[in-house]
Structure formats: C-alpha cells, structure tokens
Structure 1
Amino acid sequence: MNRSPLTSLAPDLIDLFAKVGFSADGIAMQLGPEATEAMHRGEPAAVRYATRDSSVLSGLIRAFILHDRLPTNELIELVGEALFASLIDAHVVEVDEHDSCRVVLDIRPHVIVGTDRWVFSDPDAAMTAQAPNPDHVLGVGAASLSLLQSTPVTPVGSVLDLGTGSGVQALGQINCAEKITATDIHPPALDLAEATFAGANAQVELLKGPWFEPVAGKKFDRIVANPPFVVGLPEVGHIYRDSGLNLDGASELVVSQAPEHLASGGTAHLLAAWVHTAEQSWQQRVASWLPDRGVAAWIIERDVADPALYVGTWLRDESVDPRSSEAAERTEAWLSHFAEHGVTGIGFGFVAIRDIGDEPSEILAEEMSQTFTDPLGPEVEEYFLRTAWLRERSAAQIADAQFLVRPGVAKEEVTLADTEAGVGFAPAALRITRTDGPRWSHDVDKHLASIIAGLHPAGLSLRETVGLYEMAQGLPEDCLVEDAITAVVDLIRHGLVLPAELASEDQ
C-alpha cells in the first residue's frame, strides 16, 4: 500500500518529463548557459526571462522550477487532464478562485550517478520567496551532492540510507544494490522519498523511526547517511538539519553506532560535522567516537568555519535576514553557547568506516583542503584496499615487496630566486603529486625521489632498490631502508605508490 497519492502519480509524471526532455540536460539546453548558471545561483528572474516562449519545456520550467502561477488550462495543456487531476488530488497543485494554479512541490530533475532522476521535495527556497518551514524536506543540496560523490557505487548486497529525506542518497545506490532500506523520522520525508523511488521505478524498503532504531539488530553491506549534523544548541528548529542533540552530538551518534550495523567487510559513508576546541584536537575528538576494535576509518575534514561564519551561514540557510533583530538574537544565543563549550571552530567532512572483524581499529583523521573534481567514492574504496594490504604486512614484508609509482604522478621541482648568491635560482622544494583523485601531494627529499623512481612492479623489491641506490651513492648499507619503508607507507596510504599486487588486480 502506498504511503501517499504522490507515489501513484509519480511514474506517469516522470514518463512525461522524460519524453518532453524535462531533464537536467534538457533544461540546460533550453535555458542556455547564462540562464542555467542563474538558476543554480538562485536568480529566478533571469530564468523567467529565458522561458518567455510558448514551448512545453519552458512552460514546465515556469511551473515546476519557478513555481509561477499559471492559468489552469495552461498547466492542463502541459501535463494532460488526467495528470492534472492527480496532481490536485495529491496536493502538488493548488487552484485558486481565479482559475489559476501553482505547483507547490519541487519535482526537479538531476543527473545522479550518471542517470536522469527526478527528486520530490519541498520547494527550493532559492527559487521562491517562501522560507523553509520547520518541517521542510530538502531536495538535492550541496551536502547531499558531496556525499553522492564520496560514496562508492560498486555492486553491493544490502544498503541502508539512514535519514533518507527525499531519497537522494538511495537514488545513488539503486543501480548497484540488491536491496535498499531507507529510514526517516519525518513522515512527510518518507512520503516524498516513496514518490522519488516510484518515479525511478525502484523498490526501496521504507521504515519510520529515529536514527538506527528502525533497523535494530540488522546489518548492512553499505550504510550511507546525511544526518541533521548542524552544530548548535540542543533544539530542533528545522527537522532536516537540526537533531536536538547538543553541539556535534548527531555526528557522534551516527559515527559511533554505524559500526554495529555493518556486515562483515561492510562500509559506511557518512557526512559529519565536529567542533574544534583548545582542549582537544578535532582528530582526537572524532576518533574517540569509534570503537577500539573492529573498524578501519578514514576521517576527512574538507572545511572548517569560525563560529561567526558558521552561525551566519545557517541563519541564511533558513532565509533569516542577517540584519534583522531575529538574526541578532539568535546569533548571540548561538555564539554564547559555543563560547560556553570552548568551541573555536566547526569542521565538516566525511567519515568512511569499514568493518575489519576483531582486529584493532585503525583510524586516520586528516585534512583534505585541496581542490579536486574527481568523485571521491572510488578513492575511498581503494584507500581501504591499500590500508588492508598494509595492515596484513610487517615492515620486513613491505621492504621485500614490489611497487610502482601510480600512473599520472608528477614530480615537481620548485626553485626560487637565490637571494644569498644574488643571482640565479636555488632549490626550494621537491614534491610528488597525484594528478587524479584527491590530488595528494607529498614533499620528498632527493634520496626518496630517486628510490621511488626506481620502483617497478616486476623489478626489484623496495629493499633491493634502496640497496642499489645506497651502493650507487656510496652510502652505508641499510642506512636508508627504515626511513624508506616509513615514507613509502605514507605514499601508499595516499595512493602515490601502489603495491604491485593491488595494481595487477586493477588491470
């Protein structure tokens, strides 16, 4: 039995959208690059100006993207009488006494994991003057897009989308998962998610309840979660972003409880936020949320904001004018709360967790502030493969293994004007940098640069390569082996150097 009338109309409506080209690419072609960019910036007037013609696609943009009020007969011509009646019955369209109507839900096209999808949600505040209310169900935002990019899409058995909202993360998994379970505490969110899944012809189990309660005792091969991670006072102003838990309590809850619900070898891919304090590093704080045994975790901080910037950003998110008295009152309360708890900054990023049985936990927390555009999901999967390879080997075994430098790694030699000599240039830095994935870059010295240049997957081992270099340089035997092992382990973690075994598996 369907939760909502939306679910029944979704397949027919999405079929119509697909046939007439009301897709992300179709809209971009119709609007042109300038108006498309205006749409992404939240400037509806420019989009309206670009849709003055009488085409079906322009009409659908005015109706479903801009939420313009249209004559009833115009919307009927666009979608047909039967669908129009269904849209009214499902409260997607409101008709007034002047025989005009307006679409009051977002049914917006997006390309998700390379496939055209349509997401049912409450209206995007960027396109309307309507501020998000406390029960607002978010569509596809920047945070959800970043999580989609950081979640693997390789074949998997069971997936849990914790706090599904309008169903965005589950959409990213429907082409690779055998079974998907999606949970949410908010009934309107489940209604909209069900319609989103129906429009994608996807079978998803929907469960109502908070956090992990609906799946108590169950385990999954992959967990994805974009929880209400906003860091603040223990209150709920907007259900899609506020957990009611103090500070970063929502992130702590999800990160700490996710391992209990991972099947053997399963992984979790989570968005999270955490506070910075003078008493404890953020790395220690987030690592403390994880168990001492049983997981490998990669915690990535992508951004950090000072308290004032953070508060202002989230007040604007709910359309509060930063110059208003309301903003002043709430800002003071929020910043005072941060000050009482010693908060000096708020970090935001990803937490990837893998079940490793009863082994001691292995946790790496690091900053990833560099700019890159490649999806992070494949890197996360490879990271767990690389660290598993390291975990299973002693230092001696690593020294006796064969390696290769990752294809595409660049060596940079930086020189600066030689101020001491007063002429020419002097060496300033030597580094190797990935030109793919997250673009990791490591400073190296001339010894390490020469050693890794000699690595070959079918050639000498690391120990033998170091020995050959020592001999060529007239250095004492084995004087560089220990340092080379330490350095190469760091390079393996970031994928600049790969074990020959893993490289052969990829081919």
Structure 2
Amino acid sequence: MIPDLSNQHIDRLRDAFLAAGYDTDGVVELLGPQAHAALGRGEPVPALRATTDGGACSTLIRLFLLGQAEPREAVEAALHPLPVDDAVGAGLLSADGDRLRAALDVRPHGTGDDSWWVVSDLDTELRGGQQVRPEHVLGVGQASLSLVRATTRRQVDSVLDLGTGCGVQALHASTHAEHITATDVSERALALASATLRLNRVQADLRQGEWFDPVRGGSYDLVVCNPPFVVGPARTDFVYRDSGLAGDDASALVVRQLPAFLNPGGTGQLLASWLHHEGEDWRDRVAGWLPPGGVDAWFVQRDVAEPELYVGTWLRDAGYDPHSAAGMHKAGEWLDWFETNGVVGVGFGFVTLRRTDAAQGSVVCEDLRHAFDDPLGPESDEWLRRTSWLRENGSPEQLLAARLVTADSTLLEQVSRPGGEGWEPFVHRLHRSDGPGWQHEIDELGVRLLAGLQGALAVEDVLELLAFGTGEDAEELTRAAIPVLRELIRHGMVLPAEWAETSR
C-alpha cells in the first residue's frame, strides 16, 4: 500500500515536529553526545534510557528512531495537531495492540546549518529483523551521504535528481538551485519523496518513469544520480538497488546517456559500480562507457570488494539471514553468476562528468581507496577548473611560459638513512594536506623545482636556473619536468600563480 499523506497531514506533522523540537539539534540535545553516538552505531539502549521523560520529542525519538511501540496518549500529545487516527489511516503509524508504532521512517537529517526531515521506509532493524519489501524506499544511508559529500554546491539554475528515492539529494540541491526536477520509476518512492519535500517546504517537479524517459528533451546545469548500481544477474528483487540490467550495465547506461541532458558546461555526478575482470584494467572498462564528443570525466574508485564479501553485504542489507535457505540460495545464485562471468571484484566510486565544447574531453580514472576526510564536492569543482586550465595551457610551450606556484597545502616528506656524511635523504614524497590527500614521490631535482615555483618567473626560467645550478642538461630536465608538472597541477599541488594571488 502506498502511503496516503495529504498536504494537510504533512503540514500538521511539520507543526508537531517544530513544536516538539524534533530536529537535528533537538535530538542531539535531548540524547546527549554519548547516547547519540551510540545510536549512530546501532546501539539503542543509551537512547532508550535518555527518552523516558514522556515528553513530545522523546516520544517521537522512540517512535521513529528506535522503533518502539508507544502509548496512544503520548503519541497523540507528540503529534498534535495531527490526529492519531489520521496518521494511522495515512500509513504513517500502525497499531500494535493498544499502542502505536511508526509505519514509516521519519527522521531529522542535516548538514551545517541546514536541518530537514526525511520520509522513507523502515529498515530491517526497525522492522524487527524482517526482510524489506521489494518496493522498499531507502532512507539516508551511507551511499546517499557519500554522494551528498561528493556533489558540487555551486549555485545553479536547474538540477535533475535522477532516481530520487526518498528525496535526500533534492533536499541538498535546494540549497543551491533555483529549479529542481526529481524522477523515479517507483510510485512509492515518488510518494515518499513528495512527503519529504512538502515537509521541508521544498518545491520540485516530480516525474515518474524509467531512467531519462521522464525528461527527454530537457537539459540541466547539474544532474545528480544515485542509481540502482548493485551488480549481478539481471533482476529486480528490490527496486532501490536492482536495475533489471545485468552486471554493471546500469552504471554504464547513466554514464553514457547523462551528458546529453547537460547544458553547455553542465555537470553530472553519480555513484557507480564496475566489474573487475582478470586481465582487464577497470579504467579501460569505465572509459569505454563514455559517449563520443566533448565530455570531461573523472572516475574515482573508492573501494573494491571481492565477490564473496560483496554478495554477503548486500544480502544482509536486504534483511536476508545468510544461514536461511533463502539466503543461501540467493548467495549461491549470485556467486555462480560472478564465476560464470569471470568477475574477480566489484569496484565502487564516484563519477563526475562535464559537457564541454572541446572536440576531445579529458578522461581521468583514479584509485582513491585511502582514507581522507574532506568532501569530494568542492574538489570536483576544482578538478574541473584545473582540467580546463590544462586544456588551454597544457602544451609544452604554454606550460613553460606559465607562472606557477607550489600550493600552500603541498607538504614535503623526506625519508633519510644514515650515510658517510650523516643522514642522506633517499625518498622525497609530496603530500596534499587537504582534499583527497594525494601523494607523489619525486626526486631531488623535483624538490628543487617546486621550491623555485614562486610565481615570479616563468617555468622555463626556473628550469634554466635549476639546470645551471645543478649542471643538468636543460633539455632533458625540461622534458622530464613537463609531465610531472601536468600531474601535479591536475591534483592541485601546483597552481597557476594568478589563482594563488586571487585567493590571498
């Protein structure tokens, strides 16, 4: 049954939440930092102990965040002015004897100064360990949060949220977009997304249909997509994760078609998965998905899972008991498919695409499986900016004529060993202290070159002075320096001098 939450229901629910202080700050304040952290780890008891006062916010936390059955009188007081019978009839609550439980997950979500509520289906834990339904609408999970952090927040006129689910990407888009269009193949997902957006006073054009069908003929400044990217046999056991396409064809479809729906200079950002086959470079595989023409593409691989781990993770996510007959059957079927198709691993990560007028776009595939804290959204903007600069200034002649500086965030680590004249450095490693935390090993000449990049001289002049001071051949030094500089610029460790000057 699709929830029947009318605008009046949602408006009254919003009033109840505001009156109770049921928002991100209110929940943290009531629970305290330790109980809130424990709840985030999936440990409910500290939160249960902190919510025994019978207050409105406590009741709402116990209902929607802890999955408890609460007394009718307490729920009536907490949801006022929304009548309890209306909430039950609309599919928000369900009866459990003389008590009431949440039938939907409605929880505060926010970043920075923004606080919203997100409406979704109850997960396996709040369903008492029961398997989720095929039409399950996922809430705010790690995948959606990672996409939030990887998405640009530059101001734009139009955003398309492709496969909106519960609407969380559209919520974040509302902070920097004038117009939002959100699509989904699932009628249930669109109903819950509509409730989420109405609850937060966010306007969006909601459309139902598969993939890009609902927006044929349209174009956008930003397209964001968290597709059903789970790879395996062609099936749709759960609409939130299964596309009905085999292997990694769902991710390939989005990457291939998305650029046609971008305005000139527009950007697309999505989560994606790709297969790893023995003897095949994953970079070649994903680059082959791109359409011909001017598209800049940045593929970032954040993790690679072996088939056994991958299957077990997604079966548990859907609520399968791995020891049950159904769980073992599904696992065996899935692993058979991987073996038959020669799959040795599944890569997961982010894709940033940009429509460009250049005849040939820049395609870069990078492995970023190390840990870093900074979000990739701002970095994706800067990556595209640096890519444009390299396209316009990256020929050997232009690069040598440029004035460059070593970025303030670039640090030098040196590893030394004892020698005849004391400690002798034998490893020189550059670290970028922000963003994705890239590292590059360079030689002693590279160290001296970067020390000389202070923006006053053109690169060719710095190289000439370096060759004179070290006795190296100037032509050989220049030939070796050009590809190194291009890579360091692409990673933001060396920058055009004019950028550094304007940022100070």
TM-score when normalising by structure 1: 0.94
Determine if the alignment matches structure 1 residue 480 to structure 2 residue 477: yes
Q: Any idea what SS the aligned residue of 2:475 has?
A: coil
1:186-238 alpha-carbon deviations (Å, 9 max, x no partner): 00100110111111211100000000000012111100000000011101111
Q: How does 1:222-237 map to 2 (within 5 A)?
A: 222-237=222-237
* Corresponding position of 2:45: 45
Aligned CA distance change for structure 1 residues 222 and 425 (closer, same or farther; 3 Å): same
Instruction: Report if aligned partners of 1:6, 1:191 keep a CA contact under 8 Å in 2.
Output: no
Asked if structure 1 preserves the Cα contact closer than 8 Å seen for 2:163 and 2:225, the reply is yes
CA offset at residue 170 of structure 1? 0.8
Q: Secondary structure at the match of 2:148?
A: helix
Aligned residue in 2 for 1:373: 373
Question: Which 10-residue stretch deviates more, 490-499 or 319-328?
Answer: 319-328
Aligned AA (2:446): L
Query: Which residue pairs with 1:123 in the alignment?
Result: 122
List per-residue Cα deviations over 1:133-153 (Å, max 9, x = no partner). 111100100000000000011
Following superposition of structure 1 onto structure 2, how do residues 42-191 of structure 1 map, counting pairs within 5 Å?
Answer: 42-95=42-95, 98-112=97-111, 114-129=113-128, 130-191=130-191
Question: 2: CA distance between counterparts of 1:504 and 1:212?
Answer: 43
Q: 1:57 to 1:5 in 2, by over 3 A?
A: closer
Describe the shift of the 1:387–1:358 C-alpha distance in structure 2 as closer, same or farther (beyond 3 A): closer
Deviations 1:1-30 (A, max 9, x none): xx9424432233234323432122321222
Q: Structure 1 residues 197-206 or 112-121, which shifts more? A: 112-121
CA separation in 2, counterparts of 1:505 and 1:254? 37
Alpha carbons of structure 1 residues 338 and 402: separation in structure 2 relative to 1, 3 Å: same
**Distance in 1 (alpha carbons) for counterparts of 2:360 and 2:81:** 63
For these two proteins, the number of residue pairs brought into alignment is 500
Q: Which structure 2 residues correspond to residues 407-446 of structure 1 after superposition, within 5 A?
A: 407-416=408-417, 426-446=424-444
Q: Which moved more, 1:110-119 or 1:431-440?
A: 110-119
> Which residue is 1:286 aligned to?
286
| Local SS of the residue matching 1:49 | helix
Which residue in the other structure is 1:22 paired with? 22
Q: Paired residue for 1:496, among 469, 482, 493?
A: 493
Task: Report the residue type matching 2:16 in the other structure.
Answer: L
Alpha-carbon distance between aligned partners in 2 of 1:111 and 1:313, rounded to the nearest angstrom:
27
The change in CA–CA distance for 1:11 and 1:436 in structure 2 (over 3 A counts) is: farther
Alpha carbons 1:112, 1:172 under 8 Å: kept: no
Q: Secondary structure at the match of 1:392?
A: helix
Q: Report the secondary structure of 1:316's partner residue.
A: helix
Aligned equivalents of 1:211, 1:505: Cα separation in 2: 42
Q: Is the 8 A contact 1:299 1:350 kept in 2?
A: yes
Asked whether the 8 Å contact 1:180–1:205 carries over to 2, the reply is: yes
One-letter code aligned to 2:437: R
Q: Distance in 2 between matches of 1:446 and 1:33?
A: 49
Find the aligned partners of 2:75 and 2:418 in 1 and give their Cα distance.
68
Check the 8 A contact 1:11/1:201 in 2, yes or no: no
Aligned-partner Cα distance in 2 for 1:446–1:302? 31
CA drift of 1:52 comes to 2.1
Letter of the 1:473 partner, please give it.
T
> Partner of 1:262 in structure 2?
262
Question: Which segment is superposed worse, 319-328 or 342-351?
Answer: 319-328
> 1:360 aligns to what SS in structure 2?
coil
Aligned to 1:403: 404
3-state SS in 2 of match to 1:123: coil
Output the CA distance in 1 between the equivalents of 2:19 and 2:466.
65
Shift of 1:332: 1.4
After TM superposition, the structure 1 stretch with the greater mean CA deviation from structure 2, 277-286 or 294-303, is 277-286
What do the CA deviations read for 1:276-305 (whole angstroms, capped 9, x no partner)? Answer: 001421110100000232100000000000
Distance in 1 (CA, whole Å) between partners of 2:42 and 2:118 is 18
| Alignment partner of 2:452 out of 433, 451, 454 | 454
Where 2:346 maps in the other structure, the secondary structure is strand
SS in 1 for 2:30: helix
- Match runs of 1:345-384 below 5 Å: 345-384=345-384
Alignment of 1:178-327 (within 5 A): 178-327=178-327
- Structure 1 letter corresponding to 2:482: I
Q: CA deviation at 1:87?
A: 1.7
- With over 3 angstroms needed to count, the CA separation of the structure-2 counterparts of 1:456 and 1:424, relative to structure 1, is closer
- How many angstroms apart in 2 are the aligned matches of 1:82 and 1:25? 23
Q: 1:229, 1:273 within 8 Å by CA — same for their partners in 2?
A: yes
Q: Secondary structure at the match of 2:118?
A: strand
Contact 1:113 1:172 in 2 (8 A): no
Counterparts of 1:416 and 1:26 in 2: how far apart (Å)?
55
CA RMSD of superposed structures (Å) = 1.9
Letter in 2 for 1:479: E
Deviation track 1:41-66 (CA, whole Å, cap 9, x = no partner) reads 22333422332222322211111212
Mind listing any 5+ residue stretches in structure 1 that lack a counterpart? Answer: none
CA contact (8 A) 1:56 1:78 kept: yes
The CA distance in 1 between the partners of 2:321 and 2:82, in whole Å, is 42
Letter in 2 for 1:249: D
Secondary structure (helix, strand or coil) at the match of 1:53 reads: coil
- Measured in 1, the distance between the counterparts of 2:7 and 2:491 equals 44
Name the SS for the 2:32 alignment partner: helix
- Once residues 504 and 85 of structure 1 are traced to their aligned partners in structure 2, the CA distance between those partners, rounded to angstroms, is 63
Cα distance per residue 1:112-133 (max 9 Å; x no partner): 4641011000013233413311
**Aligned letter for 1:69?**
A
- Quickly say closer, same or farther: Cα 1:424–1:17, change in 2 above 3 A: farther
Cα distance in 1 between the residues matched to 2:81 and 2:391: 63
Distance in 1 separating the partners of 2:417 and 2:178: 56
Hey, what's the Cα distance between the residues in 2 that align with 1:71 and 1:333? 45
**Kept in 2: contact 1:42–1:127 (CA 8 A):** no
Choose 195-204 or 11-20, whichever is displaced more.
11-20
CA contact (8 A) 1:43 1:126 kept: no
* Mapped partners of 1:487, 1:160: distance in 2: 38
**What SS class does the counterpart of residue 267 from structure 1 fall into?**
strand
Letter in 2 for 1:395: P
Q: For 1:94 and 1:178, locate their aligned partners in 2 and report how far apart those are by CA, in whole Å.
A: 37
TM-score by length of 2: 0.95
Query: For residue 343 of structure 2, what is the aligned residue in structure 1?
Result: 343
